[in-house]
């Protein structure tokens, strides 16, 4: 594997776990990379952070939906206090959003300043 390919997958591919739809992730990755058109390793790393954050947001929304479906009867009966779990999910969601937003802004800044590191030669 070429060095630039290792860098470009360091963040994004680590977020796909066993049993998840890898094809969905690859489609998301392709769409974001086509839209972003990263030039250089620095931009590729930022795009990978954006992809990872977007994928995590999708997984969090799916988990949230499943959680509310499975705990609805527990919450209605007062047998389960999901406030701690919900607080944790909200904090996690905010952290993902902040990280993705920061990477997006850094990418825009790099593209505007045109100071990205050149691509490494492929082997």
Q: Is the pLDDT of residue 58 over 50?
A: yes
Domain boundaries, the chain: 3-112
Mean pLDDT of the residues in the chain? 76
Average pLDDT rounded to a whole number, residues 86-93: 83
Q: What's the CA gap between 113 and 116, in Å, rounded? A: 8
11 or 24, greater pLDDT: 24
Using CA atoms, how far residue 102 sits from 22, 50, 53, 99, in Å, is: 26, 9, 11, 5
């Amino acid at each position: 594997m070429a060095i630039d390919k290792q860098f470009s997958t360091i963040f994004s591919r680590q977020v796909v776990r066993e049993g998840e739809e890898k094809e969905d992730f690859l489609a998301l990755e392709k769409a974001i990379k086509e839209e972003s058109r990263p030039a250089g390793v620095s931009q590729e790393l930022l795009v990978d952070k954006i992809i990872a954050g977007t994928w995590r947001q999708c997984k969090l929304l799916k988990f949230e939906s499943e959680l509310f479906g499975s705990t609805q009867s527990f919450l209605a009966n007062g047998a389960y206090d999901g406030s701690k779990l919900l607080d944790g999910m909200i904090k996690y969601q905010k952290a993902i959003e902040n990280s993705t937003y920061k990477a997006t802004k850094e990418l825009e800044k790099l593209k505007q300043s045109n100071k990205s590191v050149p691509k490494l030669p492929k082997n």
